[in-house]
Structure 1
Amino acid sequence: MVVKTTANDVATENRTCVVLGGRGFLGRSLVARLLRLGGWIVRVADSSSHSLLTDPSLASDSLLSNALCSGQASFCHVDVRDTSQIIKVTKGADVVFYMEPTDLDIHDFYNCYLIIVQGAKNVIYACRECRVRRLVYNSSADVVFDGSRDILDGDFSFICPGKFKDTLIDLKFHAEGLIRLANNIDGLLTCVLRPSNVFGPCDTQFVPLLVNLAKAGLSKFIIGSGENMSDFTYAENVAHAHICAAETLGSRVVSVAGKVLLKSVTGYANLSDILIYIESIYKTEVLNMQAFFITNLEPIMFWEFVSLILGGLGYPRPYIKVPTWMVSCIVSLHQCSHENLHNHNVSPHYMLRLASRTRTFDCSAAQNHLGYSPVISLKDGINSTIQSFSHLANDTFYTKFNEQSKAEKMLGGGIVADILLWRDERRTFACFFVLVLLFCWFFLCGRTFASSLADLLLLVIVTLYGHGILSSKLCGYAVQEIPSSCFQVTVSDVQKSLRSIACIWNRGVRRITTLAKGEDWCEFFKVVFSLYLIKYMQSYSLAVPFAMALVYAFTAYFVYDQYEAEIDAFRLLMFCCMVELKEFLWRYLPLPISSSLQNDNVLHQPKVAARVKEWK
Structure 2
Amino acid sequence: MATRIRPASKKCTVIGGSGFLGQHMVERLLDKGYSVNVFDMRQGFENERVHFFIGDLCSKKDLLPALQGVNVVFHCASPAPSSDNKELFYRVNYTGTRTVLQACKEAGVQKLVLTSSASVIFEGKDIKNGSEDLPYAKKPIDYYTETKILQEKEVLGANDPANNFVTVAIRPHGIFGPRDPQLVPIMVETAKSGKMKFMIGNGKNLVDFTFVENVVHGHILAAEYLHKDSPLSGKAYHITNDDPIPFWTFISRVLIGLNYEAPKYKIPFVLAYYLAVFLSILVMILSPLVKIKPTFTPMRVALAGTYHYYSCERAKKDMGYKPVVSMDKAVEKTVQSYAHLKKAS
Q: Does the alignment reach a TM-score above 0.5?
A: yes
Q: Paired residue for 2:154, among 161, 166, 178?
A: 178
Quote the offset at 1:326 in angstroms.
3.3
SS in 2 for 1:288: coil
State how far apart, in whole Å, the 1-side matches of 2:60 and 2:278 are: 42
Quote the offset at 1:219 in angstroms.
1.4
Conserved 8 A contact 1:105-1:342:
no
Which amino acid in the other structure matches residue 325 of structure 1? V
Counterpart of 1:81?
58
State how far apart, in whole Å, the 2-side matches of 1:363 and 1:77 are: 35
Pairing 1:151–2:100 present: no
Say which structure is richer in helix: 1
Pairing 1:91–2:68 present: yes
Quote the offset at 1:102 in angstroms.
2.9
Pairing 1:27–2:22 present: yes
Aligned-pair RMSD on alpha carbons?
Answer: 2.1
Counterpart of 1:395?
344
5+ residue gaps, structure 1, are: 55-63, 255-280, 397-616
SS in 1 for 2:309: strand
Quote the offset at 1:348 in angstroms.
2.8
Counterpart of 1:36?
31
Q: Tell me which structure has the larger Cα radius of gyration.
A: 1
Counterpart of 1:247?
224
Pairing 1:126–2:103 present: yes
Q: Paired residue for 1:358, among 307, 315, 324?
A: 307
Counterpart of 1:378?
327
State how far apart, in whole Å, the 2-side matches of 1:106 and 1:379 are: 30
Quote the offset at 1:331 in angstroms.
3.1
State how far apart, in whole Å, the 2-side matches of 1:85 and 1:354 are: 37
Conserved 8 A contact 2:174-2:208:
yes
- Alpha carbons of structure 1 residues 347 and 77: separation in structure 2 relative to 1, 3 Å: farther
Say which structure is richer in strand: 2
Conserved 8 A contact 1:296-1:378:
yes
SS in 2 for 1:88: helix
Q: Which has the higher contact order (CA 8 A, sep 6+)?
A: 2
Structure 1 residue runs of 4+, over 6 Å off? none
Conserved 8 A contact 2:244-2:309:
yes
Pairing 1:3–2:3 present: yes
5+ residue gaps, structure 2, are: none
Quote the offset at 1:105 in angstroms.
7.2
Counterpart of 1:287?
232
Which amino acid in the other structure matches residue 313 of structure 1? L
SS in 2 for 1:76: strand
- Alpha carbons of structure 1 residues 86 and 109: separation in structure 2 relative to 1, 3 Å: same
State how far apart, in whole Å, the 2-side matches of 1:123 and 1:98 are: 8
SS in 2 for 1:287: coil
Counterpart of 1:192?
169
Q: Paired residue for 1:303, among 248, 255, 274?
A: 248
SS in 1 for 2:233: helix
Q: Paired residue for 2:205, among 209, 228, 236?
A: 228
State how far apart, in whole Å, the 2-side matches of 1:326 and 1:391 are: 36
Counterpart of 2:260?
315
State how far apart, in whole Å, the 2-side matches of 1:347 and 1:248 are: 42
- Alpha carbons of structure 1 residues 199 and 342: separation in structure 2 relative to 1, 3 Å: farther
State how far apart, in whole Å, the 2-side matches of 1:351 and 1:166 are: 10
- Alpha carbons of structure 1 residues 347 and 327: separation in structure 2 relative to 1, 3 Å: closer
Which amino acid in the other structure matches residue 133 of structure 1? Q
SS in 1 for 2:169: strand
Quote the offset at 1:341 in angstroms.
5.8
Conserved 8 A contact 2:58-2:100:
no
Pairing 1:168–2:168 present: no
SS in 2 for 1:156: coil
What fraction of aligned residue pairs are identical, expressed as a percent? 33
- Alpha carbons of structure 1 residues 341 and 23: separation in structure 2 relative to 1, 3 Å: farther
SS in 2 for 1:27: helix
SS in 2 for 1:218: coil
- Alpha carbons of structure 1 residues 364 and 310: separation in structure 2 relative to 1, 3 Å: same
State how far apart, in whole Å, the 2-side matches of 1:106 and 1:82 are: 23
